[in-house]
Amino acid sequence: MRKLILTSYALKNGRCELAAEDLPVVLGRSRHADISIDDELLSRKHCEIVINDLDQFEVRDLESTNLTIVNERDTESHVLRTGDRILIGDTEIEVEVVLAEREISEQTTRDLTVLPRNIDETLGGK
């Protein structure tokens, strides 16, 4: 099971773990936001985290007043990866993406199992 771990002093207990089935979630200063953060520089509904069409965790700005910044760049949307830093208002959030198993796209060719071919069968021999 893949999950997204968000870490920040501003989050309840300092961290929040989200599985794909928990999404989408809205972050903002409103008590009606899924993840409410006490930061006056946040919009009531500042940004959201979703699973995009490619099955990736993605943060999307919700036309916030003070922007959503990922890795020091203003963004409307950004696919999240381990090590990313989201800045919303005065709140910085560290991102970790955890994969239950290494997905094939994450493996190197040394990690992939290659079955040997029988050259005789391939060439039409016995």
* Better-scored residue on pLDDT, 70 or 103: 70
Average pLDDT over residues 104-110: 56
Cβ-contact 8, 39 below 8 angstroms? no
Sheet containing strand 35-36, strands side by side: 35-36, 25-28, 47-51, 57-61, 77-79
Per residue in 5-24, pLDDT tens? 999 999 989 999 999 999 99
Per-residue confidence (pLDDT) for residue 44, from 0 to 100:
97
Residue-wise pLDDT for 28-85, tens only, equals 999 999 999 999 999 999 999 999 999 999 999 999 999 999 999 999 999 999 999 9
Could you say which DSSP state residue 76 is in?
Answer: S
